[in-house]
Structure 1
Amino acid sequence: MSPHKAPDSSRRSDRSRRAICDAALSLVGEVGYARTTIEGIAARAGVGKQTIYRWWPSKAAVLMEAFVDLGTRAAEADGTAGGGEQGIPDTGDLAADLRLVLRATVDELNDPAIEGPTRALTAEGVSDPALGAQFVENLLEPQLQLYVTRLRAAQEAGQVRADIDPRIALELLIAPLTHRWLLRTLPLTHEYADQVVDLTLRGLLVQP
């Protein structure tokens, strides 16, 4: 007989961590941030609440890591979602690169698994400044910096006007999508994302 092999505790812990993150996202999407509790997350994940408290100091911390984990998985799946950790592509064609990333952002925002929790945390972040600040620092700002990096590269390549502030320019790309998504005024589509890119670049690109 082969000797008994002890369970891999690190793999078991990662499985539990993933289950907790998934439970947190599903609950906040179903009942909202305010009604989501550590106890509820633990019950949904099939773990003890002390396991959660051992790894995270608060409910907000669980949700922040859950969102980061969700973004990482999305980036691993398609290599572009929301910019992802791999950054915005730099093929030399700025318009094509931005269309690719904004289309991926549209797909994320229209994905029920992402839309519900994102709306819940966005709403809670308005009334809870501490949570809102965590959302911006841990999730939003790192993605925005990817746009800054890509636009600066385009400036250095002589494609984007030198007098443009990339940090302001990126808002011309992100804000219209966010506005339409938040208000649900009209469908959020790839075609709309393409038009946002085209209109924005009319003001950013160096004219021949």
Structure 2
Amino acid sequence: MAPTKAPDSSRRSDRSRRAIHDAALALVTEVGYRRTTIEGIAARAGVGKQTIYRWWPSKAAVLMDAFLGLAGRAAEDAGAGSGSGDTGESAPGIPDTGDLAADLKLVLRATVDEMNDPALEAPTRALTAEGIVDAKLGAEFVHKLLDPQLALYVTRLRAAQEAGDVRADVDPRIALELLIGPLMHRWLLRTLPLTHAYADEIVDYAVGGLAPRA
């Protein structure tokens, strides 16, 4: 008689983690951050509260981990769908083809797609809003999600400076806000649609202002 195979505990843990992540994101989308609870996440995921507390110290930690995983998968999908042959890269996710405007338009269009994705939009809005009143959550959101992404823009803009496409006196950390700020403003206020055409215009205006003066 063949020996009975022992259950794979790591696979079971992965399934439980994914179920908890999915439950947390679904609840924060449906009822908002403040009304989302560890009890609610556990019930939705079909696990006990002790399972959640074994891996995360708080509701905020669960949601942040879940959102980072979701954002990471979205970025991987976007990268897989935008591959276009052999191009250099100044950093992962930021193309450096030698055409600064074209490279930035590619990145900002992908950002627009993420911001318009219903699966990402609702939890992003919930965490953004709560981060305004919860300084610790807001700082964690910036440190774990925004800062790594902004660093990629800094790297690309510095490469453009070295190539002579951006003035030497420009601070890349401030310059990137010319690109990201307008997108966030329109996304937060929902006054006008967030489109690829709008992203392209932002790049054209920003690159024109950053270029060396005659």
TM-score by length of structure 1 reads 0.93
Identity, % of aligned positions? 78
Specify the code of the residue in structure 2 equivalent to 1:186.
L
- Structure 1, unaligned runs of 5 or more: none
Deviation track 1:25-66 (CA, whole Å, cap 9, x = no partner) reads 111111111000011111111111111100001111111111
1:121 corresponds to 2:133 = no
**2:95 match: secondary structure:** coil
Q: Distance in 1 between matches of 2:112 and 2:80?
A: 12
Range with bigger deviation, 33-42 or 7-16: 7-16
1:167 corresponds to 2:173 = yes
Q: After the TM superposition, which residues 29-108 of structure 1 pair with which residues of structure 2 at under 5 Å, given as runs? A: 29-79=29-79, 86-108=92-114
Q: Distance in 2 between matches of 1:16 and 1:31?
A: 22
Q: How many Å apart are 1:74 and its aligned residue?
A: 1.0
Specify the code of the residue in structure 1 equivalent to 2:170.
I
Q: Number of paired residues? A: 205
1:141 corresponds to 2:147 = yes
1:109 corresponds to 2:115 = yes
CA contact (8 A) 2:71 2:120 kept: no
Specify the code of the residue in structure 1 equivalent to 2:132.
V
Q: Distance in 2 between matches of 1:44 and 1:89?
A: 40
**Match of 1:181?**
187
Q: Distance in 2 between matches of 1:101 and 1:25?
A: 25
- Structure 2, unaligned runs of 5 or more: 82-90
CA contact (8 A) 1:39 1:49 kept: yes
Q: How many Å apart are 1:106 and its aligned residue?
A: 0.7
Deviation track 1:58-94 (CA, whole Å, cap 9, x = no partner) reads 111111111110111112212179xxx9331122221
Q: CA RMSD in A?
A: 1.7
Deviation track 1:168-204 (CA, whole Å, cap 9, x = no partner) reads 0000000000000000010000100010011000011
Specify the code of the residue in structure 2 equivalent to 1:165.
D
Deviation track 1:1-23 (CA, whole Å, cap 9, x = no partner) reads 54322222112211211111111
Specify the code of the residue in structure 1 equivalent to 2:68.
V
Q: Distance in 2 between matches of 1:161 and 1:113?
A: 39
Q: Distance in 2 between matches of 1:5 and 1:206?
A: 67
Moved over 4 A (4+): none
TM-score by length of structure 2 reads 0.91
